[in-house]
Chains A and B, each alone.
Chain A
């Protein structure tokens, strides 16, 4: 079995900011059932700041823990600050992840960025090519 840090297990057992927001400023779903991980992020944005963030996710323990940690990391940040959060930071804050699980943290950040994009450019978000964060950690 993969070895997870205590903090990963803690976030897996007690995910922070779990659930949905009734009337979100924006929401986005990324990933795919076929791949085995899929995440929905809901944002409540007030005056350019992430007032509240919620998530629901289908995936492994690392997927759930990285989603939880991502929401903790960006709650209360301005959108500009939140856009700078990257997967490495999430992994570090969790006390590390097995390398094969790095892509889970990509999905958490991808979904956040997509939700912000939906908020900022609602017309483009459906059609534009998303800038995929670099996935060079995993092939």
Chain B
């Protein structure tokens, strides 16, 4: 098995989670609305799961809606909330570090005539609270701020944001995409003043294609899909029973290990950063250090070389990571988070993201850094860019990409 350091993209399903799901495919396959005993059992299981998830964030059971994951929940939060609350205004606010599902939903709202404000982030990837306060008007329906910048690990001050939102406009809804936060950190919707939350099971060793959406009671959301009533009224269609039950199991295990996992990945993070910074010259840590950074994330740019080549070379050596290079993206655009924190294109192209799960080990970090050091030496030998070179002569946009 390769060493997997891309756990912010997804995580392996725990064997005990997969095992727990199995009967829900073959024996306990009923839907919760049948008028027979097996259906009632499923209804009870889903009801229990809903109660579990609601209590995990200090919410009420009827405030939890099962979805296909955080992308659907983010669309419900952004499109659903804005469309249903148009009588309150025509404005929403997001941050520059949102997940694509929030950014693209925001673009759709613009096409529908809404106004969308994108808040800047500072050099560590944190929004400016004064700017937030400034931009909330009597027209603002929704403020949607990601819990943790998924590329650079910056932890947004959700509690302060929640307080500002409500002090400026009581009708403004506060949503967070908590895909990177839920299970890994405590999340209390009452303490943080959250009206809407998105999460996704495959970020915490559950199955793909399932998540939950928290909607505070009384908040109007327009459905994205229409159909016959089902377990979740906001979301028709056959319930993903096995997925929900797998998510339930993964969450239970994750919560039990939340504290020990945080301590473990903090050690891995410190060790990885320390080894890279002492052993590999010409690096830049992207995002904050210390308390403002998620211990699950390390993001480092390597000068003079390009991240797609680094990650392909690392993969050949059995180490799997992510990069913010344009060459690794379908759009051929450099990573927007690095640009948002003031980085230039070279820093984005040369960025490598390592994201941990609690299953990673110190030996894996050692192996990864050993291989990384070799790869960086090799690619720097290949590169015409060397320490001390005047890079300014090579910064023009070249037409071969853009013809």
Contact = CB atoms under 8 A, between A and B. Distances in A.
Taking residues whose C-beta sits less than 8 angstroms from the other chain, chain B's interface range is 35 or more
Nearest to B332: A100
B385 to A, nearest CB: 5
| Chain A at the B interface: SS class | mixed
| Chain B at the A interface: SS class | helix
A71 interface: no
Interface string B60-87: 0000000000000000000000000000
Given A60-B309, A63-B327, A35 B382 contact: no
Contact of B399 (A18, A40, A132): A132
Specify which of A31, A40, A60 lies most central, judged by the most chain B CB atoms within 10 Å of its CB. A60
B383 A58 contact: yes
Contact of A34 (B304, B330, B346): B346
B256 interface: no
B397 interface: yes
A15 B384 CA distance: 14
Contacts of B349: 33, 36
A32 B308 contact: no
Contact of A33 (B328, B332, B394, B401): B394
Contacts, number: 114
A135 B403 contact: yes
Contact of B382 (A1, A64, A100, A135): A64
Interface in A56-76: 56-64
A37 B382 contact: no
A60 B400 contact: no
5 contacts: A32-B395, A32-B396, A34-B344, A100-B330, A138-B401
Given A35-B398, A35-B401, 14 more contacts: A12-B309, A31-B398, A32-B396, A33-B346, A33-B349, A34-B346, A38-B398, A56-B383, A57-B383, A61-B313, A107-B398, A132-B400, A135-B400, A138-B401
Interface of B: 304-306, 308-309, 312-313, 315-316, 325-328, 330, 332, 334, 344-346, 349, 381-385, 391, 394-401, 403
